[in-house]
Structure 1
Amino acid sequence: MSEAGVIHDIGYQRYSGPRLGRRAGLTALYVHGLRSSFGLGRSAKAKIFPWLVAGIMLLVAVILAAVRSQIGETILTYVQYDDQMSWLIIFFVAILAPQLMSRDIRSGTLPLYFSRPVRAADYVLAKFAAMATAVWLLLGVPQLIMFLGAAFTTKNGASGVWNEFLDLVPGWGYSLLWALLFSSIGLLIASMTGKQAFAAGGIVAVFLVTTPVFGVLASIPSTTANALAGLVSPMTLIAGVGAWLTPGTSEMELNIGRFGAIYAIETACLIAACLLLLLARYRKVASL
């Protein structure tokens, strides 16, 4: 008895639609990363932590707005709000960055990304933009609630609302600075390993280790050493830039002396260095 081969038509057809390029790939990565930041499109378990953090920060903003409407005094400025919420942001970044970077390494999907028109620079830019947007929203939306509470209870009419808006804008800029620096550091550390727990621990360790170093340097009996002590920690680095650009508004009240420009330069250089290292890391992966 001879065996005969059978050809089955299972309905595969050639794709005849529009072929999208790099821009579409970058946009898709950005949107997917931003949605993943808040657990959208994922399991209920993945939504717990980001929305818990967001809920706490929104609740604090609502309380601050309500208290201000009752007593007519500002408990925390927009810049001070960011400083007070800093540790929540650190833990948010420590959970989010491994989800955006380490999961792709562990699951082996990077070769699939780079087999398309998407390049290593597109991948890094999309992930960085998604995470920075998520962190900025986490800070900026509560600040908007604080602004609305102040605007609707002001006794100075339109001028009072305008003055409040002028206070809000530097606060949003300060939040953007937090988002850019923390996102760049978090993504770089997370790109080093496919294990999310190790990546999260590494991110938290960077902030926990550098903060006591700042305390030691700040206690040295030297005016110059005290003024430059904030350069060793990302948290105090941002606070130093805030103290330079908006004196008297930061919660940490660092004594940076005449070195404010140095804080700003180091912040810009640190963000750029992290992004360049990320790019070098993924260019190497894309070339494999």
Structure 2
Amino acid sequence: MSEAGVIHDIGYQRYSGPRLGRAAVFGALYQHGLRATFGLGRSAKSKIFPWGVASVVLLVAVINAAVRSQTGTLLFDYYQFNDTMSWLVIFFVAIVAPELVSRDLRAGVLPLYFSRPLRAADYVWAKVAALITGVWLLLGVPQLIMFLGAAFTTKTGMSGVWDELGLLMPGWAYSLLWAFVFASISLLVASLTGKRAFAAGGIVAVFLMTAPVVGVLSIMPSDTAQHLAGLASPISLINGVEIWLRDRTDLGLDIGEFGPIYAIEAFCLITACLLLLLARYRKVASL
């Protein structure tokens, strides 16, 4: 009897197709994250809340466009639309951000993600980009509806359309600022726990519990403290940037001459959250 081993050919073949690399993995992860933002490809239960919020936001935009076309009265402009929808945006990111990152932490699949060729930075930027896109679409699509309603009912022809477009573009830029602030903060909080309920509660707490601090600082006897009070809350911080850029005084927040400080803090807040998020996942990848 021969003791030599025998190799049996059972039909397996080496993969000879294209190897797409990190860019393709990043794109696939971004696409998956964006779909997960709105519950696409998941159960009906996962679609209820994001599409429910999106439906309410769209309905408000349609009502605003209808009232403007019928009466000529503008309930709110593109900037005010974001401010009005702030509470819905908070609850949207509180549900979606844990869906994007907490699920992976709890399932323990990150070591698989961070094997070659995907890196921790790729994972972080894909998730951040997906949520930024989701929040911007949540606000930007209704703003587009408002624009179309105004464009089709304008009485000044193409000049009116161009004027309205000139108002829409800054409104979209303002929505992008909202998306960056909300996405960076919510993903950082959600990355700290694998339990989605805890992550959602933490995100809501960050946005809501900072609001009373603004109220306390705004009644301080010092004018400087009153002007800087809005720096204590993400929502009032964004409002402060709007007040500075548009020279508005009707938002209930007095920033005095500290408008540039609000813009600098908004930039620093976004940058700090993203760097901390990256450090968090580099630590996870090294475990």
Q: Does 1:167 find its partner at 2:172? A: no
| Aligned position for 2:261 | 262
Code of the aligned partner of 2:71: I
Shift in CA distance, 284/159, structure 1 to aligned 2, threshold 3 Å: same
Separation in 2, partners of 1:244, 1:77? 17
3-state secondary structure, aligned to 1:243: helix
How far residue 51 of structure 1 moved from its aligned partner, in angstroms, is 0.5
What amino acid is aligned across from residue 49 of structure 2 in structure 1? F
Matches within 5 A, 1:31-180: 31-180=31-180
* 1:190-232: CA deviation from partner (whole Å, max 9, x where unpaired): 0000000000000000111100110111111322111100000
Distance 1:128 1:255 in 2: 32
Structure 2: unaligned runs, 5 residues or longer: 1-5
1:233-277 CA-to-partner distances (Å, cap 9, x unmatched) read 0000000001111223x8634211110000000000010001101
| Separation (CA, whole Å) in 2 of partners of 1:70 and 1:93 | 34
Cross-structure match for 2:278: 279
Does the 8 Å CA contact 1:217/1:226 hold for their aligned counterparts?
yes
Q: Which residue matches 1:191?
A: 191
The 1-side partners of 2:8 and 2:155 are apart by 78
Partner amino acid, structure 2, of 1:211:
A
Deviation per residue, 1:19-59 (Å, 9 max, x gap): 11110111111000000000111111101111000000000
Which amino acid letter does the alignment assign opposite residue 145 of structure 1?
I
User: Which consecutive residues of structure 1, in runs of 5 or more, have no partner in the other structure?
Assistant: 1-5
Secondary structure in structure 2 of the residue aligned to 1:193: coil
Q: Deviation of residue 170 (structure 1)?
A: 1.1
Deviation readout 1:52-102 (Å, 9 max, x if unpaired) = 000000000000000000111211010000000000000000000001110
Distance across 1 between alignment mates of 2:80 and 2:223 = 25
Residue of structure 2 equivalent to 1:233:
233
What is the number of equivalent residue pairs in this alignment?
283
| Residue identity in the other structure for 2:32 | H
Equivalent AA in structure 1 for residue 56 of structure 2: I
1:197–1:11 CA distance, 2 compared to 1 (3 A): farther
Q: Which residue of 2 aligns with 1:242?
A: 242
Following the alignment from structure 1 to structure 2, what is the Cα–Cα distance between the partners of residues 7 and 42?
43
Q: Distance in 2 between matches of 1:156 and 1:53?
A: 35
Secondary structure class of the residue paired with 2:210: helix
Is 1:213 the counterpart of 2:213? The answer is yes
**Separation (CA, whole Å) in 2 of partners of 1:175 and 1:285:** 32
Please give the TM-score of this superposition, normalised by the length of structure 2: 0.95
> Secondary structure of 1:101's partner?
helix
CA distance in 2, matches of 1:244, 1:268: 15
Counterpart-to-counterpart distance in 2, 1:221 and 1:10: 83
* Alpha-carbon contact 1:243-1:253 (below 8 Å) kept: no
